[in-house]
Structure 1
Amino acid sequence: MPTTLTIKGQVTIPKQIRDALGLTPGTPIDFAVNRDGEVVLHKARAGRGAKAAKVPADRFEAARGKADVKWRTQDLMALLRG
């Protein structure tokens, strides 16, 4: 599965590899070079790396349940519809 290195030193990890390792956007990754000079990619374990914190599955998960305003659906719809 060849890929191309960008001018910024970035590569796209092929989907087969991402799926096999369970990699999703924001997943911390460890890189290593073995004795044969091959690069090895590992999904980082919890507590390792600067961004080892759990990343929500989607961007709305982080906001879910955070509102401090208790709207009733009818009141909200009346406000939105004018």
Structure 2
Amino acid sequence: MTTATVTSKGQITIPINVRSSLGLNAGDRIEFVEMDDGQFAIIPATHPVTALKGLIRKPVQSVSIEQMNAVIAQYGASTK
């Protein structure tokens, strides 16, 4: 098992074998993901911007600012 020591500033040096295994280079970002069992996994944050394509679809019909404001006003009035 590979270990690292946390400094007084909360920093660690990721050991070379872990960096190599994850394909990390200087300047790369990592994510700490909490698992169901409460432990954390370290994964490279390498999602390219192009991965977001198609995440949000354009509406079938255009909506005007007036229509948006009307719906917001209606929703606001119904939650009081």
Relative to the length of structure 2, the TM-score reads 0.53
Separation of aligned partners in 1, 2:27 and 2:4: 20
Separation of aligned partners in 2, 1:22 and 1:38: 22
Moved over 6 A (4+): none
Separation of aligned partners in 2, 1:29 and 1:3: 16
What amino acid maps onto 1:32 in structure 2?
V
Within a 5 Å distance, the mapping from 1:26-65 to structure 2 comes to 26-44=27-45, 45-47=47-49
TM-aligned CA deviation for residue 18 of structure 1 = 0.3
More helix by share: 2
Residue 13 (structure 1) aligns with: 14
TM-aligned CA deviation for residue 28 of structure 1 = 1.6
Gaps of 5+ in 1: 48-82
What amino acid maps onto 1:7 in structure 2?
S
Seq. identity, %: 38
Greater gyration radius: 2
* SS of alignment partner, residue 41 of structure 2: strand
Report Cα offsets for 1:27-54 as digits up to 9, x if no partner: 121111101122111111123xxxxxxx
CA RMSD across the alignment: 1.1
What amino acid maps onto 2:34 in structure 1?
V
* SS of alignment partner, residue 18 of structure 1: helix
